[in-house]
Amino acid sequence: MQIIINENNEITSYAVIGNMKDGIEVNDYPSAFTIEFKPRLYLYVDGQITLNENYTNDIQPPIVDTTHTAPGSDEELRKIFGSLQMSSVQTMKMVMDLSKQVASLTKQNVELQKQLNEKGVE
């Protein structure tokens, strides 16, 4: 997860998927964080997320830069999923082709080894 903090170490936004400009990577956070999240409700101090005891809801939340790399729409996710499926199929085909080549080379190696043994070469 990535978070954005303001000058008071208050967390103003977060992203579970993707990256945000100037985002801070956080791996450990309270279980209720994503459910109860409100801008400035939590603080990020010394690598820890804690409740902001001075939180008040009288200030409008800041405008957040939403230019992040996380896919936004359902259509985008479907396109990405389709692309990943195609890539997976192509990868499997390459693996199968390489397996056939390895089997063919192994067979040729055995035949050459057999011919060498018949001629008395080791």
Residue 97 binned pLDDT confidence (cut-offs 50, 70, 90): confident
Residue 59 binned pLDDT confidence (cut-offs 50, 70, 90): low
Give the integer Cα–Cα distance in Å for 118 and 25. Answer: 65
Give Cα 30 distance to the centre of its chain: 21
**Does 24 score more than 90 pLDDT?**
yes
DSSP 62: P
Global pTM exceeds 0.95: no
Tokens of 115: 């011919």
Paired with 4 in beta bridges are: 13
b/e 83-112 (16+ beta carbons within 10 angstroms → b): eeeeeeeeeeeeeeeeeeeeeeeeeeeeee
Least confident of 1-15, 65-79, 85-99, 108-122: 65-79
pLDDT in tens, 64-81: 555 555 556 777 787 777
Contact 69, 37 (CB under 8 A): no
